[in-house]
Structure formats: C-alpha cells, structure tokens
Amino acid sequence: MTALDEPQRQQLRTRLAQRQAELLRELGQFQRDRLDIAAQEAGHEVIDQAEVAERREREDVGEAEASRDHDELVAVRAALARMDDGSYGECIDCGVDIGFARLSAQPAAARCLPCQEKAERR
C-alpha cells in the first residue's frame, strides 16, 4: 500500500475536522438535554412512575449514544494529532501504510485491517 498524497491527506483532514465539530455539537446537545430533564424534575412535585421509567429509558439511550460519540471523538482527535505529528496513515501497531481506501471509509482508523482485527480479538 502506498502512502497518502497531499490532496488525499487534505481531504481526510477536512473530514476529520468536520466530524469532530459534529460530535462536539451532538455531545453539547446531550448535555443540554440532561440539564432540561433535571430542571423539569426539580419543578415537578409529583411525577408518576410510568413517566419516571420512560424518562430513565430515554436517558439510558442518550447515555449510550453519548458514550459512543465520546469514544469516536477521542479517536478523531487522536487521528488529527497524528496528522500534526506526521504519523497519520501509518498503522500504530505495525507501521505499514494503512492505505487511502481504508482511511477514506474510516478516516479515524489507527490500524491496518489485520492489526485492527487482532486488536478486536484481544
């Protein structure tokens, strides 16, 4: 596999920066939702049990989504940091060039496919 050329690198950097902005927006929205729920609960003396259960469920779903978004944000930020230090596009485990096709599908990918599969089995 060949190293990225400059236009490919630029394209991936733009996509990573956009994704980072999107994730930050989603996580910010999630924070606001939580504050809204807390404010609503504080204003209610009596909340019926069904409503409480439904709200908890919604919070759990939000929690799982926020946790996924957060993990992705960490990966996107790490990829942008690798862009800056010049190691972006190389597998963090074995050092081979990951290749544009894989990075294009997954700009935050830190490993080549064989190393990724190994890492997931661990």
Q: What is the contact surface with Zn ion in residues (CB under 5 A)?
A: 91, 93-94, 112, 115
Counting other chains too, the contacts that 31-36 makes at CB distance below 8 Å and 24 or more residues apart are 33/62, 34/59, 34/62
Residue (42 or 105) nearer to Zn ion, CB: 105
Residue (48 or 120) nearer to Zn ion, CB: 120
Residue (16 or 110) nearer to Zn ion, CB: 110
Shortest reach from residue 92's CB to Zn ion, in Å: 8
Shortest reach from residue 73's CB to Zn ion, in Å: 23
- CA-CA-CA-CA torsion for 110, 114, 120, 122, nearest 10 degrees? -110
Shortest reach from residue 97's CB to Zn ion, in Å: 10
Residue (28 or 114) nearer to Zn ion, CB: 114
Shortest reach from residue 118's CB to Zn ion, in Å: 8
